[in-house]
Amino acid sequence: MSTPFQIRQAASAIRGEGVICYPTESVFGLGCDPLCYEAVDKILQLKQRPVDKGLILIASRIEQLVPYVQLNHAQRTQLLEQNSATTWLVSKSSLTPPWISGRHSKVAIRLSKHPLVQALCNQLDSAIVSTSANPSTQSAAKTLLRVKQYFPDELDYYLNGELGNAGNATPIIDMQSGAIIRA
């Protein structure tokens, strides 16, 4: 488990326009400040991923997501009452940068129950980008060693910790239509 000092170091790297890796519910993720184009662009280059696909934002509290989304009361309630690691597609706000939503009118968000993700988002008091720590053509990293093999000396901070028990990548569901985008 990471220490409070390591959480502060990871947050400092993000504040400094850096890219970090960190454990999530199912795999190691790459993260940064969603408002920092340079950091997001670095993630997209590392992953060899086109910007038009969009990225996920994760947070510890709904308030950290509010600048990026338009949620009605029922949607807020649904998000707060979720029991499993689920990523939701919701209507984006005018503040959501195009490098986050890609070509889409919606943005993918998740309230994380992972203790390190929560600690990191609380330290930043902000949502962060979350995408699996792997080049697009490779399998998602399940260990810090694999992340370092994929991206040796290319990240600004490597936050180690246990993965959650989600097993596979989180499902993505369109909150308005209920359509399952990724099972």
CATH number at residue 70: 3.90.870.10
Alpha helices in the chain (DSSP H): 4-15, 37-47, 73-81, 98-101, 115-124, 144-150
Angle at 74 between CA 70 and CA 78, to 5 degrees: 95
User: How many independent structural domains does the chain possess?
Assistant: 1
Domain interval for residue 41:
4-182
Instruction: For residues 64 and 55, give the distance between their C-alpha atoms in angstroms, rounded to a whole number.
Output: 16
Per-residue pLDDT tens digits for 56-104: 999 999 999 999 999 999 999 998 888 778 999 999 999 999 999 999 9
Express each pLDDT in 152-180 by its tens digit.
Answer: 999 999 999 999 987 777 889 999 999 99
Which tokens in the block code for residue 98? 């195009």
Work out the burial of residue 150: count CB atoms within 10 Å of its CB; fewer than 13 is exposed, 13-18 middle, 19 or more buried: buried
User: Tens digit of pLDDT for each residue in 131-156?
Assistant: 999 999 999 999 999 999 999 999 99
Is pLDDT of 12 > 80? yes
Tracing tokens 């810090």 back to the chain, one arrives at 144
Is the Cα torsion angle 25, 102, 59, 79 positive or negative in sign? Answer: negative
Secondary structure of 84-103 in HEC code, one letter for each residue: CCCEEEEEECCCCCHHHHCC
Q: Which two tokens stand for residue 68?
A: 């990026």
Q: Are 109 and 57 in contact (CB under 8 A)?
A: yes
